[in-house]
Structure 1
């Protein structure tokens, strides 16, 4: 766990908005060195300028986390400028919706590339560096936080690719936690599972890769996008509050970070489905009108 963040180094992907930006703001206040990465150049530039104005030492790089070579370059630049990072926040992510059979291969490549492989690349590039630093100094501590989602704990309909990507991140991070515990007491991990929080993820289409811009969304994707936008923008918990939860979890060495703990009843229901070998429960039991509206919209679309 890290209890004193001053003069420590944080690597933050998706640092131009949402949780990444808010964690950068906290890091700057705590006197951290900041390595900021984002695929969106203008957002990254604004974030870097703000953190420098706040007095932080900043290394900013435009990075597409789905590209292994770009994350490797980020890791090399981090080592050269600040040494091994103490806090790595594999946070960059994109949203997606639609009936699972309607998603194209390009949809799968994009969402899994960013949400899953982006985390894989971050873990692969930075963990050995952190373990090396820990081996050289018994007092050195580090922490990796991977952003998943409540969609990594339950499976809401009409958002299949996103669910798959986030379940994979939960699995990856639980395994990372156990693997790290086998080899060191100085480096650990947490998984962040936010629910609906206003972050800008519902506008992920702004960063769709070249070649996807001409693809017209299906009716189910448009319906899912509209529902997601409504839910995200009406969220009561802020990105800044979630960012503080991340820092609190690092200081307490707490693995699971939930923005909406009250939503864990849905996770319990899913696990009880598994334990009792029963069919999946209605995911909209807590709000039947929502499920009825989605079913009506999709059947009308057919």
Structure 2
């Protein structure tokens, strides 16, 4: 069990806010070297300042969707700290709207950050970790990829996000199996939070200019309002989810769910598949929400 964290290195993307920052706080408490990455310069600087003088910190402004920036990051980490023991591929952005109304720029932005950001983290840091493991039989490493309950379910009016997060779950489950084929020293987990108060619902603040969206469609505005409401009413905090991440590292647990009750929806979805049933109404427990959404989209 990887319970000895002191002096080990943690790489965290999306470290300027939300889960990334809270996990960084717990890593610092455990005496880890921190590699903090975020695309938002001011949030990153504030986070780095919080840890300066407490633990060694390397802060880098990185757009995780950009292969060259992630490659430069990996090279810097290796040079300064060697292979990281903990990689938290966490950076993510939210997006809503009816799936045919999403622009190509929407797809490029959301898949770039949510999926390719994780791909880059996995392809660049896993070989480094395997090399460290091969050199030292006692070396342990762990990769945690942030997906979402939207990687397990397909709520309507947020299709691009669902697609990106299902891909992260698939990538993580495959990574788990692939690692098991070659090593017992490097493991991975997938984090599937439900609605938790983080900055995710305001992701558009960091959307690159070259992927600027057109004026949002009505369905996107409706989706934004629903997400804002759900995220801001989240009763579980980002700090509590961060504690779940470290508990999972200690237990070598793969699936990390912030809201285990929401797994009932996953069971219903899988039963739909097993019974060749058409997808169950996602609002069957709360029909009034479904009616409101339908009325809003139909202009009623």
Q: TM-score surpassing 0.5?
A: yes
1:277-292 to structure 2, matched below 5 A, reads: 277-292=276-291
Structure-2 residue corresponding to 1:40? 40
Indicate whether 1:273 and 2:266 are aligned.
no
1:167-186 to structure 2, matched below 5 A, reads: 167-186=166-185
Contact 2:17–2:198 (8 Å) recurs in 1: yes
Question: How far does residue 285 in structure 1 lie from its aligned partner after superposition?
Answer: 1.2
TM-score when scaled to structure 1? 0.98
Question: 1:224-281 CA deviation, whole Å, 9 max, x = no partner?
Answer: 0000000000000000000010011011000000000011000000000000000000
* Distance in structure 2 (CA, Å) of the matches to 1:19 and 1:26: 11
* Distance in structure 2 (CA, Å) of the matches to 1:178 and 1:134: 17
Q: After TM superposition, where is structure 1 displaced by more than 6 Å over at least 4 residues in a row?
A: none
Structure-2 residue corresponding to 1:297? 296
SS of aligned partner of 2:52? helix
Structure-1 residue corresponding to 2:10? 10
1:10-29 to structure 2, matched below 5 A, reads: 10-29=10-29
Structure-2 residue corresponding to 1:206? 205
Structure-2 residue corresponding to 1:232? 231
* Distance in structure 1 (CA, Å) of the matches to 2:172 and 2:40: 26
Indicate whether 1:74 and 2:73 are aligned.
yes
Structure-2 residue corresponding to 1:148? 147
Question: 1:36-65 CA deviation, whole Å, 9 max, x = no partner?
Answer: 000000000000010115x01100000000
Contact 2:147–2:193 (8 Å) recurs in 1: yes
* Distance in structure 2 (CA, Å) of the matches to 1:68 and 1:212: 16
* Distance in structure 2 (CA, Å) of the matches to 1:272 and 1:254: 24
1:97-108 to structure 2, matched below 5 A, reads: 97-108=96-107
Question: 1:115-156 CA deviation, whole Å, 9 max, x = no partner?
Answer: 000000000000000000000000000000000000000000
SS of aligned partner of 1:211? helix
* Distance in structure 1 (CA, Å) of the matches to 2:39 and 2:171: 23
Question: How far does residue 288 in structure 1 lie from its aligned partner after superposition?
Answer: 1.0
Structure-1 residue corresponding to 2:222? 223
SS of aligned partner of 1:178? helix
Matched pairs, number: 300
Gapped runs of 5+ residues in structure 1?
none
* Distance in structure 2 (CA, Å) of the matches to 1:211 and 1:180: 36
Q: Which is worse superposed, 15-24 or 283-292?
A: 283-292
TM-score when scaled to structure 2? 0.99
* Distance in structure 2 (CA, Å) of the matches to 1:254 and 1:117: 24
